[in-house]
Amino acid sequence: MAAYGLYTHIASNKFRSMLLLAGLFLLIYVLVFAGALLAEVLIRSDAPVDYYLRAASRDLVTAFPYATGVAALWIVIAYFFHQNMIDAVTGGEDVTRQQQPRLYNLLENLCISRGIPMPKLKVMDSPALNAFASGLNRRQYSVTVTSGLLQALNDQEIEAVLGHELTHIRNGDVQLMVIAVIIAGVVGFFGELFFRMFTNLSWNSSGSGWSSSSSRSSSSSDSDSKGSGGGGAIIVVIIAIALILLAWLLSQVVKLALSRSRELLADAGSVELTKNPDAMITALRKIENRGELPGATSAVMELCVDNPREGFADLFATHPSVDSRVKALVQFAGGHDPGPLALPSDVADEPDDRDESAPGQIPPPAPRGPWSDASGPARPAPSEGPWGRHN
């Protein structure tokens, strides 16, 4: 982390943002070609494979300006209204100094101390402990925090979280993440549309389409029926499905462009703003495994301080683990790790048959990971002070 230049990271984010936007148009064209293949099979189910490929290519050329216009329109809509979409999903609402003086003052002080333009401040009513930044330009930047975060964290820890989100804005991470959300949304929309077409196609073809054409069997036309008729249509449908799946998979791989080092840099940026590595560490420990936003899409969760949702075996995880982030802060910023922290709200989650001899002990959150068992026995909380080592 120390050897990775900040300006290199910012420049890389800008380059990848432009690359992802170009990739969006490419994925749209792939989906249009796949849809054209399905449409040609609907129109004629007894043609050879090369006929479908040529016809779909002509359809793609004809639809090219329309597909480009739709992709551009989607980007324009997302550019101006993505925050409204996010607020509709999360329920975030703008707050003023009068409504949230504590939170507003903490954010304003950080912005003034570093000459950063003040982003909009939003609060969403949720017991989850999380926060995220969004926006594509200075007029759109906003920081959203949950009501649960405000209740569970002290002023220094909230300031550290706000510094983390401000660093995302300064580093250009927010633009890249929002663009990735746009790509996933448009590919998901068209992918679902074409899969609905495929569902109708298979239902229609089960009657008189493929079955009638494939039922022709004679010694003189057997080879022709394999290269044309139902066989050709089936091959083309398989190709179309493969292209749709490929486009969807590439839209998911876009997440890999969101380098997980951005979270480590944002943590470091928070420490640089607040001069308090311990506050960032304890904030992460309190947020750990408590950040799930009910009803939020995976795209929104990828914007958050911590994303408890993980890909298979951590392969597609968009955030490094809290343990690795805390370890980096301890190693490079001189912070102290108290280990997993329990909150007063965790008392309600304790089993009724807990050990009577230790009424003051509250179990920490369950271990993070795809193979962890949240129902396993709880470990006792550390017996030392707030900065003591976890046993």
* CATH code at position 133: 3.30.2010.10
- In terms of domains, do 16 and 158 share one? no
Phi/psi-derived region of residue 369, left when phi > 0, alpha when psi is between -120 and 50, beta in every other case: left
- In terms of domains, do 154 and 263 share one? yes
For residue 179, report the phi and psi dihedrals to the nearest 5 degrees.
-60, -40
- In terms of domains, do 81 and 117 share one? no
| SS3 category, 342 | coil
- In terms of domains, do 78 and 128 share one? no
Q: What is the pLDDT of residues 258-280, one digit of tens each?
A: 666 788 889 999 999 999 999 99
Q: How many CB atoms lie within 10 A of CB 54?
A: 13
Domain C-terminal end among 272, 296, 324: 324
Kindly state whether residue 336 falls inside one of the protein's structural domains. no
pLDDT of residue 288: 93
- In terms of domains, do 232 and 117 share one? no
Kindly state whether residue 140 falls inside one of the protein's structural domains. yes
Domain C-terminal end among 306, 324, 342: 324
Contact 227, 51 (CB under 8 A): no
Query: Which amino acid appears at position 24 of this protein?
Result: L
Cβ-in-10-Å burial (0-12, 13-18, 19+) of 184 comes to buried
- In terms of domains, do 34 and 154 share one? no
For residue 131, report the phi and psi dihedrals to the nearest 5 degrees.
-160, 155
Q: Copy the structure tokens of residue 251.
A: 């839209």
Give the pLDDT band of residue 136 (cuts 50, 70, 90).
confident
Query: Which amino acid appears at position 146 of this protein?
Result: T
Kindly state whether residue 35 falls inside one of the protein's structural domains. yes
Q: How many CB atoms lie within 10 A of CB 47?
A: 19
pLDDT of residue 358: 45
CA dihedral (239, 241, 242, 243) positive or negative:
positive
Q: Which of 16-20, 67-71, 266-270 has the lowest mean pLDDT?
A: 16-20
pLDDT of residue 58: 94
Give the pLDDT band of residue 282 (cuts 50, 70, 90).
very high
pLDDT of residue 361: 47
- In terms of domains, do 313 and 268 share one? yes
Catalytic entry in 157, 165, 263, 302: 165
- In terms of domains, do 111 and 14 share one? no
pLDDT of residue 372: 40
Q: Is 302 one of the catalytic residues?
A: no
pTM: 0.71
Domain that holds residue 308: 93-174+259-324
Read off the pLDDT of each residue in 6-14 and give the average, rounded to a whole number: 66
- Please give the mean pLDDT across all residues of the chain: 77
Q: What is the domain count for the chain?
A: 2
Query: Which amino acid appears at position 143 of this protein?
Result: V
Domain C-terminal end among 284, 305, 324: 324
Share of the chain above pLDDT 70, in %: 71
Kindly state whether residue 355 falls inside one of the protein's structural domains. no
Kindly state whether residue 364 falls inside one of the protein's structural domains. no
- Residue 170's nearest CA partner among 110, 94, 130 is 110
Most confident of 101-115, 240-254, 363-377: 101-115
* DSSP conformation letters of 82-116: HHHHHHHHH--EE--TTT-HHHHHHHHHHHHHHTP
* Strands annotated E in the chain: 93-94, 120-124, 131-134, 142-146
Cβ-in-10-Å burial (0-12, 13-18, 19+) of 244 comes to buried
- In terms of domains, do 154 and 290 share one? yes
- For the chain, how far is it from start to end, CA to CA, in angstroms? 28
Read off the pLDDT of each residue in 146-164 and give the average, rounded to a whole number: 96
- In terms of domains, do 161 and 277 share one? yes
Kindly state whether residue 219 falls inside one of the protein's structural domains. no
Kindly state whether residue 314 falls inside one of the protein's structural domains. yes
* DSSP conformation letters of 264-295: HHHHHHHHHHHS-HHHHHHHHHHHTT----TT
- In terms of domains, do 244 and 267 share one? no
- In terms of domains, do 86 and 128 share one? no
